[in-house]
Every structure is written in C-alpha cells, then in structure tokens.
Chains A and B, each alone.
Chain A
Amino acid sequence: MTCVAELASIAARIRARVVEMSHVAETPHLGSSLSCVDLLVATYWGPLRIDPKHPLDPNRDRFILSKGHAATALYVALAERGFFDPALLDTYDTDGGALPEHPGLQCVPGIEAATGSLGHGLPIALGMALAARIQKRPSRQFVLMSDGECEEGSVWEAAMFAPAQKLDSVTVMIDYNKWQATGRSDEIMALAPLAEKWRAFGWDAVEVDGHDMAAVLAAISREPDGSGRPRVVVAHTVKGKGVSFMEDDNNWHYRIPNADEVRKARIELGQPEATA
C-alpha cells in the first residue's frame, strides 16, 4: 500500500486537475468534487482490489460514486490509477466526448454505475453484494455518497435492507461537507445526528476526519467484525477542500473559477504547472 504522504500528493494533483477542468469546461460542482478527493484516493490506492489491466474481472471490488456530480474527481482518479490515458481528460464535457458531467456506465473503464440522480448508488451496490454472495465471489463494494444525498428515501430503504441480509461486504462513505446545493444540509433537513441514524438502522458506523488519510484508510480497510453489520464511514469534510478561498464557501457549488483563480488554486495545491 502506498504511504500516506504519497497519497496526499496524489490527492493534491487530482485537486489541481479538477479545478482546471471546471474552468476549461465551465462546469459546476467544484466544491463537491474537492471535498471527496481524499476519500477517493484512500479507496483507490487503499483497500479497493482492482486491476486497471483487467477492469471487468468478475472478482474485482466495486466502487460506485453515488454523488455523480463529483465526476471530475472520479475521472482524474481513474486516469491517475491507470484505467485510461490522462489525455482523454482534455475531452471532458466536449461535444460527442466520452466524459459527460455525470458518469455513464463504463463511459471509461472503471465506471461501475451511471450516477447523477442521487440515492441510486447504494441499492445498486447492494445488488452487487447479493450477486457476490450468490456467485461466491470475494468482492467488496464501496459507495461514496454525499450528505445531501442522505435525504433521498431510497437511501434509507437500502439502509434497512443491508443489515437484514448481513451484507457486510458493503462499505459506505459519506462525504459530510455540511452543505448541499442551496444551504446547510443540517438545516434544510434534520440530517444530524447522521452516524447515529445509520447505527440505529443496524450499521457499524464510525466517524472520521475525511481529510485525514490515515484515519480514512483505517476506517475503510477494517475487515467485517463478524456481526454481519455493513460499515458506514461518516467522513467529516470541508466543501472546496484544498483551496483556501473555496473552503466552506457554498458559492463554489455552482461557481466556475476564472484563469486567475485556477492559477492561485494550483499554487496553493503545490501544482503550479498547468496541464491543460
């Protein structure tokens, strides 16, 4: 496994590219993409058993970005992980291109589900978990969701089903950045206390600092404890993480950075050289 310092530098590279892509393609959801980068890196460079050379190996683990609006972070992570040529990232959101603003199924190798509408990733992952059990395969399933997404009823339908079937091959990560599109996620809906809700539904819930790479790695790598409870990692994060003038400022849910802001962001992230 790659060391934590190395993971941090991969995360910084991904963030810089994500900021740049938002600028070039003029696409929103930058704050949401930046908040989940460390979770993505911890998973893809951590416990997720995948082989970019055999992206459809039936025994692979599955990762679903249920918060599909953070697609740029996923695309860059997959390119960095060797699933496809990073040059393809230049075609993001271009006419006729393979990389839309929300990922399509296998639109590039490594995308396990089409997401964008919230509340869909977990039920799909549970189906994959049932399939692994039926087919006697060792696969684990990782789902990355947003906090606002937890307002969808389908999430709680799935949350009730998984412990009933003891689907402990499933690990959910919640990118709890405390914001949704138009306001504080704990104010618009009674989301808090989020970990307690999952615990009450029968999940093995842990809370971590979602930017503490070692803590995230430990939380998602832990083997099932034998109780049959699936695991949920409530990751406290900061929307816009990594760029000082974007952090915890919800304008960056929709705002597009200009060239000067991209330059400043890249310098802050220690990646002054533009790629695009």
Chain B
Amino acid sequence: MRNAFAAAITDLAAQDERIVLLSGDIGNRLFDTFRERFPDRFYNCGVAEANMTGMAAGLALSGLRPFTYTITPFATTRVIEQIRVDICYHDVPVVIVGTGSGLSYASLGPTHHSCEDVGILRCFPNLTVLCPADSAEVGPALEAALGLPGPAYIRLGKKGEPAVHEKPPVFVVGKGIVMREGTDICLFGMGTLVSVALAAAKELEAQGLSARVVSMHTVKPLDEALLADAFGRFRAVAVVEEHSVIGGLGSAVAEWLARRDGPHPPLVACGTPDAFISEAGSQQWMRERCGLTGPAVAASVVARLGASR
C-alpha cells in the first residue's frame, strides 16, 4: 500500500500544484520520483513529528494542500495535540497519512503498533477518517481526501496486502463499497481486514450462510444508510478491524446502533483486545491470536447466532 501511496501522490502532485508532501524521516527511496519531479514540494521533516504536523497546518492556512506521512503511531498518537488544535480546530485541509497501521509492524512491538488511532481521531470535529482496503483503494482515497474542504486521516497498511479489488473502485467518502452480496450475514471490513472479512464469508458459505461483505473505508462520517439496511435485513452484522474493540469501527457502529429504537440483529465486533501484544511475532500470528482470520471471524459469527437464537 505504501508503494501505491507513493505512486498516487506523485500522479496527483503533477495535476495539482498545491500538493506538498511532508515525510517524517521515513520512506527511504520511496519518494525519489516525487522529489525529482517536485523538489520544492517535498520536505523530509526529520524525526520531529510535532513540527511536521504544525507546519502542515501553516501550509494549508496559506492555501496549499499538505500531506503528512510517517509510521502510523508517529503520524497520529504521538502528535495528537497538533492534530486536534493545529489541524482540526483550524479546520484546514491537511491529509494525515499513517503507514503500517494496526499490526502491520507486528514484529517491531507495541511501540510501532497502532490499534487506538481511529478511536482517538474520530473524536475530533472536522476530521474525516478513511481506511482503504487495499492498494487499489489508495489512489481513489487520496483523491477523495483532496476533494474535501477540511482535514482527513488516511490509514494505510504497509506492503503486500492481498488485493480485494481487480481495479480501482468508485470511492465516495461516507459510502461503503459492497464487495459481494449475501442474504444472511453482513460483514463490515475496515481497511486491510476487508480481505479477512471476504475469507470469513467463504467460510460461512461452506456452512450454509450467505454473507454480504462491505469495505467500510470511511469510519467518519459513517454510511448510515448502509448500516440501516444491514441491521434491517440480516440475521447478524459483524465488524472486522485491525484496531482495538474500544473506539474503532465496531464502537462507531455500536454508538450508532444505541441511538436507534427497536430490536436489531446481534452486532459481532471482531478487533484487537484491550491489551498490548508484547510478545514477538508476525502479523499473521498476532491476527490468529486476536481471532482476526477468516475461520475465526466466521466462528465468532456462528457462535453469536447460536447464542442469540
């Protein structure tokens, strides 16, 4: 996904001379083409994310369209006050891009994990939160963010994520993308876990349950129409995300659901636990531990259906 980001931002910068790319001493050689083509619009801001984020606000206040880019926890939770005050309070069109989100950097340990970013950032007024599912959604997500009058956060994986789209999809902020249709279960995948939701749908199918899968790339603002439809006609609704069960898409959906009247099918929230994963291990190992694989998600859904019958 980070290669897709580098390619997309370079293309966009050729079309829009307001784009400025700020990087926090990351992406060695990743932005060589961007730097060669637009030397006055790329700045390596060093290991100084607070300054980078504040500068982005200053650039945007002057009419430019800055993107900040570094590893997710350093692009987000390290500089939460700069995001809140300089970007969101000023309501300026800065795009914050976090790479290696969730457990992408599993083996680097919890300092490099980010399973709280969405929960914290979606509290901030004016901020749009986008979680593209794969490389094909990255370019459209950047373009969509550029079309917004205010700030956006884009949560990326790292590299080698499975492709869930054959070609770049139509990407509209606040509108989930239906990946496959179904009639019994609705699975909302957030970001790179759309691939896991698709795997879970296959598992469910083998067990006689037909599942719709949605790439819920916009966590804020929520696609309320799609949610209302899902809770209106499916036997169970599940959210699958590489983010804490506190604060992420599952929480956002639960908050929305709690404000509605009437009975509704069960909401199954599959995410990372309220704990730091301090053991060494690969992303796949950690996903297995958190129940974030196709079979594990399918099992959670089936168990919940059984319990609520």
A binds B: yes
Q: Which of A's residues lie within 8 Å of B, judged by CB?
A: 58, 104-105, 112-114, 117, 119-120, 122-135, 153-154, 157-158, 160-161, 164-165
Whole-angstrom CA separation of A104 from B88 in the bound complex? 12
Contacts of B57 in A (CB 8 A): 113, 123-124, 127
Contact partners of A131 in chain B: CB under 8 A:
20, 58-59, 61-64
Q: Could you jot down 22 A-B contacts, CB within 8 Å? A: A112-B61, A113-B57, A113-B61, A122-B54, A123-B50, A123-B53, A123-B54, A123-B57, A123-B58, A123-B86, A124-B54, A126-B54, A127-B54, A127-B60, A127-B61, A128-B58, A130-B59, A134-B41, A135-B62, A154-B82, A157-B51, A158-B55
Interface of B is mostly: helix
CA distance A113 to B54 in the complex (A): 11
Residues of chain A with a CB closer than 8 A to B55's CB: 123-124, 126-127, 130, 158, 161
Known: A113-B90, A123-B86, A131-B64. A165 touches B43 (CB 8 A): yes
- Give Cα A124 to B85, complex, Å: 11
B40 and A134 contact, CB distance less than 8 A: yes
Cβ–Cβ contact A127 & B81, under 8 A: no
Q: Which residues of B contact A104 (CB under 8 A)?
A: 89
CB-CB under 8 A from A128, the residues of chain B are 58-59, 61-62
Instruction: List chain B residues, Cβ under 8 A from A58.
Output: 62-63
Give Cα distance in the complex from A158 to B54, angstroms. Answer: 9
The main secondary structure of chain A at its interface with chain B is helix
Shortest beta-carbon distance from A104 to chain B in Å: 8
Residues of the B chain whose Cβ atoms lie less than 8 Å from the Cβ of A105: 61, 89-91
B230 at the interface (CB under 8 A from A): no
* Shortest beta-carbon distance from A113 to chain B in Å: 7
Interface check B174, CB cutoff 8 A: no
The CB with the most chain A CB atoms within 10 A, among B54, B85, B90, is that of B54
Q: Mark B51-79, 1 if CB is under 8 A from A, else 0.
A: 11111111111111010000000000000
Q: Does B48 count as interface, using CB distance less than 8 angstroms?
A: yes
CA distance A119 to B81 in the complex (A): 11
Q: How far is the CA of A271 from the CA of B56 in the complex (A)?
A: 43
Smallest distance from the beta carbon of A270 to chain B beta carbons, Å? 38
Given contacts A120-B82, A157-B50, A160-B48, contact A127 B89 (CB under 8 A): no
A123 to B57, CA, bound (A): 8
Q: Which residues of A contact B20 (CB under 8 A)?
A: 130-131, 134
Name 8 extra pairs, CB < 8 A, besides A105-B61, A105-B89, A161-B46.
A114-B90, A123-B53, A123-B82, A123-B86, A124-B57, A127-B55, A135-B62, A154-B54
